[in-house]
Structures are given as structure tokens and as C-alpha cells.
A and B are shown apart, each in its own frame.
Chain A
Amino acid sequence: MIAATRDSHRGRELLGVVARMVYVLFSFGCLSTLAHAQVIVAAQVGDASDEDEKNLGGFQVQVDDSMATSFKDFERFAARKDWEKAFRAIGEIPSEKRVGMLKAGGGMIVPARTRIWQVVAELPAEGREAFRVFFDAKARELLSHIDADDAEPVADIKIARQVYDEYFLTSVGDDAANLLGDAAFEQGDFRGAERYWRAILDHHPNTELGELRIQVKRAMALLRSGRGRQYAALLKDIEQRFPGETVVLGGTDVDPATFLKSLQSDSGLLVVEQDSQANDVTIAAGSLPAETPTAWRLQYLSDKGKTLMDQSVRSNYWYRNGVETYVPPFTSLGSRLICNWFGIVFAIDTTTGKLLWRSEKFDKLHSQFAQMPHSQTNIEQFAVVAGGDTVLAISLNTERLNNYREPFRLVAYELDTGKERWKSESVGPLKNESFIGQPLILGDNLLVTTHGRNESKFTLRSLKLSDGSENWSKELGTASQVQKSRRYQQQNPVPVFLQTDDAVLVLTNNGALIALDSLGKEIQWVLKFKGPPSSSGNNMFWYGNEPLEDVIALHSQGAIVEEQGVAYFKEACSNELFAVDLSGPKVLWKRPVAVEAVLAGADEERLYVLTREIMAFDQETQKLQWSRRLPIAGGGLSAIVGRDTVYIFTNRGIYCLDKQNGTKKSIFRGADLESNGGWIEVVGDRLVCVSNMAVTAYRPPWSDGISTDTTTQPAATSDPATSSEPPESSDISEDTSG
């Protein structure tokens, strides 16, 4: 294939010389027209928003200023259509120097390599032609060093990479991209391979490599990388646009659709559904009748503990960090639910309600309650996630819960037994790091952010799930600290990860959304927007009986969801809800919402946002469709967006609202009326509610249609007072009063 490509280069060389002559003549003939065009284009290219971007505050990503200067020269000359100077300027930034970050306007910051490549690839027709005239010969000369039978493919790849980065618009740019795509595919980097092949189709529409052939390769890459939706769409497109056409693959003429379908069936479950069946919330439908049985209830905060907590809050009314309305984070995996209650991690079998294991006794926290309301600890930093056979918790040693700025540690437990596998304190480079934000498990590795004690510079780390050893780390940026609770020093924002089909998104909760590649290693782009307000202007006076500010009482957290290639997010401490088209990326819209609002869910049409009311926004128009006031009293703002119903767990029961208009279908009082409400989730055939006191599971009506596994046991009784499964050991019974 490469040899054939090189044959065609001779013809292209001749064409290039002719084109160059035509270009020179054309340039002289059009001088007067260019003079006029310069003004208009220069105004478009001018970066007038630089100053505005500086004032955005919040998360700061380091930008390469020296490279930005050279790049601005290019943009200036390109705007004037002074191509010779423009290309000379870009020539001063060779491929190997394009390693920093550059601003791309509109709050976007992208890697220099991407930014320069993108700007060149999107030159106007005249600029593209000029580019070819100037660089075609050099690119072809470079690519000619590649030999198909070369024993050193690494060197070939390096050359192809240089051609792709610096001379993609030349007549051999598509060949270089194709070569890189093949190499990436062979190395298992299917997403990278798809990107290279897509670039050919986007920027070399008349490629001699053949569109059908490239599309088939793209489809294979999509299939291999498990991006089922894109694969299905592309397969459909191939079937419609190339009916009856064949393509030569491995020396054989094949029908592309048949070939791809056979690949799909051979690969079994390569079209990954992300274990969506396990906790499929769309099975939730209809209202919960009053007789909905309680499957089990586990009270982790005993009555004695509650009394101590209340006393502590009353005694420390002057401070108050919202500890009394805090609902612990939880995660679920299969039929297990795992909570992290101020560092005590415990797992429950959601089918039986049996407490499988816990890291410590629940009442160990009682002695800490007295200090907790005025502790410096950022209680929003506790996190838990499970993957494979491991549970990861971001925790503090309960003994040091109220220590001044005690670093949060990452601890790995065995999912089945709760046995501690490793902890960050024992891993060399992580010893002094404080972990922040729920880790993201990617296969055998995990992605997590850390910062030094008393620092706000965030480092992104990839660790091995098995032992916590570090694969790599890189600086992500510097956060602007935020003061939320009363009379306390500022705290770092807690970032949130979201894995999409081809990227990992990091919502900083500090005025930036960062897109990483699928492995989370390389930054693809950063979208900067208004950061949290400076704390300097905040009032520092409170009255004793003053109600807690909503943002503290509701423990508002940032959240991000992705629907059909659009990321919707709302940061903590921000009053804006965003919709960003990830393919651009491009901000589709943003709208004001309350600072304490939390993006609780989404379906195909709407976004559901919670404060002390639930609001449904139209995804397309950003218009508020309906809202309903709810008796929400504490943290754990969440909603199950079911097939036709939205379920919210409040301190007056579970509200079942019609998705279309918010009309109340029913209020199921349940067994947690003494709590503040909190998280709600469908776990298998159970509807699980996690409050500030207990974890309760119900058997919803829709569970009758779900086939449970063979280990499923019927719930003991529907009476919450007696329904908790007997604990495994006597000490548990002391703590669980339910």
C-alpha cells in the first residue's frame, strides 16, 4: 500500500510546481482584494477575549506563553494571507516543540500540537493550496524515507508522525495519517486509529486511499474500542452510501457490511453496554404504593450516636459545617452496596441486607462527634468506588478525623471480604499526598487526583489497582480554593470524573472542564469558564439560630452527565448550568440556576436539577419545563429518572413524580421519616435509600418482573422495625438499631 502511494507522488510533484506558479500569478492579480480581506479576517482572529479569560478566576492550566507568541505571529500573517511569513512562523515551532498548551479562544485551552494542527487543517482553500505549494515537496521527500519492508518501523512511525503533525495538508498527509492509523490499530490503540482515519475523511475528502476503505477501517476501530453507538451509526451509513460496493481486505474482495457484521458477531460482546443491565434505572416505573415492602434496613448511626451528634451541633452552633445533614457517599457493584461514612467503609448485600463487612465499628465515630462541626476537615472529600474485586475509598483515619488538614488517603479493600489490600500511606510517592475526587477505575488501573498538604496544585495520577503503584502522573492545574463553611479556611474543590465513549472528562468544580484521552493521560482540551467567587467579599457574621446556608445544608456537589455526545454539567459553588457539545467542543448553552443546585439526572429530553425543589429543563431549549417544591432537608441530592417517573428521597418519604409535568403520583413514606432523606438508587431488584442515619432497601413493584440470581433470598419481613437481617457478629447488633 505504501509503495503504491509513493508511485503517485511523482505525478503530484509535477502538479505542485504548476500549482505554485499559478499561485504566484494569482497572488499578484488579487492584491487589491487581499487588502480589503485583511481587515475583516484580522478582526476575527484577534484574541480580544484574553483579558476576559484572565478574569474568569478558578482553575488555572499552565499555558506556554513563548509558543503562544510564535503562534500568534502565524495567525496574524495568516489573517493577512501573507502565507510565506505565516508558514515561516509556524516552521519555527517544529513537531517536537509542540508540547505545551495554547489558548484557542472562547475559554478553550488545547495542546499546542492539536491547536496548531487544527488551525492549519482548517485554513481557507487559498491557504490550503498555498500550504501544499510550500510544503508538498518536503513532505513527499520525508515520506519517501519510509520503506514498506523497513526493519525499523519505529523510525517510520516517527517520520509519519512528523508529516502528520507538520504537513498534514500536503498531498501525502493522508498517507501519513493512514500509516499512523494502521500502527495504532496494531498496537491496540483503537481510539487513536479511528482518530487518524477520521482526520483523513475530514480533511482529505478526495483521498486516493478510497473513502469506503477508510470508513471500513474506522468501523473496525470503533468496534474494537467498544463504541457501539458510533459503530452502529457508521455501519448503517456504509450500507446506505455504498450499496453493492466491495473493498479489498487482506487480499480478498469483501462486502464491507457483511464483513463488519461477521466481525461483530465473532467479537461477542465487543459492543460494550457498560454493565448497564445491572442497575438499569429505566426499569423503574410507576408510583410506589403505600404497601411497598421494606426489604431491609441497616442503621449505621445509632440512636445514641444521633443524640451525641445533635448535642455537638447544638454546642457548636456558631461554627456548623453541615455535618448533621451529611449523607455518606456510596457505590454499588452487582448486589453489593458500599458506603464510606466518615472513613468507616462498609458493604451490604442488597438482596439480603446482610452487613458483609466493615472497616471499623460504627460507634468508633461517637467520640469524634463533639469536634466535628468545627473541624477543618472537608467532609465532601470522602469518596468510595468499586470495580473488579476492589473497593477504593478516599478516607481519613477515624482517629485523625478532626486533625488540622489531615491528608485524605486512598485505601483499597477486597470487595468480598473487606480486607485492606493497600493504602496510599504505604506507597512511596503517595505518602504525603491528599486524595481528592472519586477515583475512576479504568481496567486494571485507576485515575485519581491528588494535592499536597496545604496546596492547591492538582496532580493527575494513574495507579495500578492491584498494589497502588504509580503508572504515571502529570500536573493538571492549580485550583482556586473556596470557603463554604463558616469561619473556616478555604478548601480545595472536589473534582468529578466522567468516562465517555472516547474520553475522560474532569469537572474541576472550579471553573474548568478538562477532556483527557480515553486512557486519561493526555489532555485533549480544557474549557475555562467563570470560577467560584472569591471568598474575600463574603460576610463573616452569623447569628446563633440562623438557618444553615443551603449550599452547606444540602452539601451541593458538582455533577456531569453525557447524553448523545453532549456533556451537561453544573459545578459546585457555581450558578451556571452548561451544555457542551463534546465533538466541537462547543458551548451549546448555559443558563443561571441556584448556586446550591445539583444536576441529579437526565433522560433523552430533560435535565433534572435539585435544590429544595426539583426542576426539569429541556435539553434543547434550556427552558424550565416544570418544577416542584420538595421537603428536602439535607445532603444526598439525587433522583432516579425512571421510565415514566422521577423518584426523590426526602425527609417526608419518596416522592414519585410524573416525568412529563412533575405532577405528584404518590408519596411513599417508607421507613426513614426520621432522617433528612438522601441518596436513592436502583440496585438490582432493590430500591435503595441512603440517609444520614441508615441504609434502607425496598422491594418496588417493578422488581416482580426481575429475575434475581439463585442466591436471592426473600426479605425477612416488611416491618422496618424487625426487618434487618441478624448481624454476623454481636458488635454489629450494638450499632445497628434498625
Chain B
Amino acid sequence: MAKQRFVSGLAAGLVGMALVAAPLQAAETIKVGTFLAVTGPASFLGDPELKTLQMYVDEINAEGGLMGRQIELVHYDSGANPKKAVDFVKRLIQRDKVDVIVGGSASGETMAVTPQVEKAGIPFISLAGSIKIVQPVKKWVFKTPHTDRMAAAKIYEDMNKRGIKKVALISGSGGFDKSGRAQSLDLAPEYGITIVADETYGSKDTDMTAQLTKIRATDAEAILNFGFGTGPAIVTKNIRQLGITVPVYQSHGVASKKYIELAGDAANGVRLPASALLVADKLPDSDPQKAVLMVYKTKYEAKHGSVSTFGGHAYDGLFIALEAIVRAGSTDKAKVRAEIEKTRGFIGTGGVFNMSAEDHLGLDLGAFKMLEIKNGDWTLVN
């Protein structure tokens, strides 16, 4: 009996010591929290993002960490479910006590967690596309990917150069598609463009010839398709099947080799705005981004196979956060936030970031490259 009590007392003592030791060690690591859609419908975003974060955190730790402190990545898989994302962000803030959050693959989950982040006062860099994330500006929220509005603007700029005035819009039913459609409609008058058709399709539809037949009957001089997944590839094939010859524009949602593979020959001549990462090896050596892009691309591809722009957004987010921590000299949340806002001339995969109190993205249209697909590969349009 007495012995048993002694043993349990010892155990309690050990547990107590462990509890004391834990916060000490925690104070030494820099905790980067993240929630990403690694599974589920947006897994093509979350998967490369998580791989990128893990790869760089491991690398920095192997080289002795940041300011002599190891980095700890705390990850949860949100499955692009906003409700889950809110729970995970609460856990990151309250239980894991992370110093900064870099995550949120989809716009929906990012918008859902924003009130939590603002209330807790923790620097948060989102990896999602919508312009609504940073407009109006929220004190603690930043983002790295180009917005859908920028994509629409870049496309219209190119249309203006080619003298295209009448555009037929076709978009899917997903969140990205709808937001892109809204921005395209909104921006059109600014560039003197008339939208002569506005068609939609279900994200899992197998044939869009009905919508495109309607578009064929209009006097559209170009077709603009906002979407990702199978939809844009089917649209592209259906356009060629119907013998429509006007120029076709896609959004940055199809900026992966998969799209070219799926659409095959029909993809030739299609133009889209995309991050320079896709054409890293084709950029002139004078391009400031080239070195950064080539290093990221080589590292990622050596480990995980073909690079995607989405993983690049995670790279940008992580390093903007870490550089801000180094400049702040601590993980004090207010100081780190202020330093993130002061990010100037940061060369990332998405472009050159110049943030300010009014701009929590810091990219301009120059960050997008206009690409044209030729013979199954990307080429730069000048």
C-alpha cells in the first residue's frame, strides 16, 4: 500500500516536472499554426501547400532554426469546411498558442475564421484567392495569392490589346467560379468590354455544348471561362467540337499541366493569366523573380513531383511571416503584425510583394504573366 502510494507520488512528480518543462521548451520554439484543405474538394490546393510548409520548416530546423529557435508547424486538415476551420483556428489560438497562422486554402474557410483571428489579435496570412479577404482591410489578416479581380483585369488588359470588345462569359457553380464571374462582370465596363453572354454549368457536368451553342449564336469576339477542375477542360474541348474559332481565355484556376493534359490539342491557343512559377525556366535572366522561382521549383520537384502555383502561395506566406519575425526580433504578435505590414520588395513565387496599411496583399498586375498554350506547353505572351 505504502509502496504503491510512493510510486504514484513519484509519477505525479514526474508529470509535474514535465508540465513545468513543457512551457519552457514551448517558449523556445517558434510556433507556426496552419489549417489547410489537404483532403476534400480543394485538396489540390491544400496538398501542395502543406508539403511546401513542411519541406521548408524541416529545412530551416535542420540548419539550426530561426534566430537559434526551432520552428514548430502545427497543422490541422480542414477539408475546406469553414465550420471545421473555425474550430481548428480556436484550437490553434487557445490550446496550441501559436505565434502566427499561415493557412486557409479556400476563401470560404478564410472568411469564416477572420472574426476569430481579429478578436484574438494574431497575425494571419491566408493562402486563398478572394479579394474580399483583404478588402476592406482587416488589421490582422494578410494574403499571398493574386485575387480573381486581378485575373479578370489582366485578361481584359490583354483583350484590349487585341481589340476584343464583346465577350461571352461561361463559369462553373463553385465558389471560385462565382466570385470570378462577379469580378469579371464588375470590371468589364472599366475596360470598355461588353458581356454578351453569361452562362453557367455545374461543377460536375459532363457536357457544356448546350451553353456554348448559345454563345456561338451571339456576336462574341472571345470566350472567357472562370473555373477549375474538369469543367474548364470540358468547355475547351466542347468549344473546338462546335467549331468555335474565337480566342478562348481561361482563369488562373487552370494553371496546372493537368489542364493541358485533359484538354489536349483543344488547349492550343488558349490564354490565361498565371503566376510566373509556371514559366520559371522561360523567364529572362533579368527577371527579379527567376532565381527564387527556380530554387523553389527545383526543391519541390525533387521531393514531390510537378510544382503547382498553390504550393508557391504557401512559400510566400511562410517566408513573409518568418522574415517579419526576424525583423521584429521576437514573436510578439503586435510587432510581428506591424512588420508583416511593412513587407517591401519581398520576392516571392507570386510576384514582388509591397504591403502597406491599405494593401494587405501587396501585388500589382505585373505579378501575373499572360500565358498562351502552344503545342502542349506554356509560352509567355508579350
Interaction A to B: no
- CB within 8 Å of A: which residues of B? none
- CB within 8 Å of B: which residues of A? none
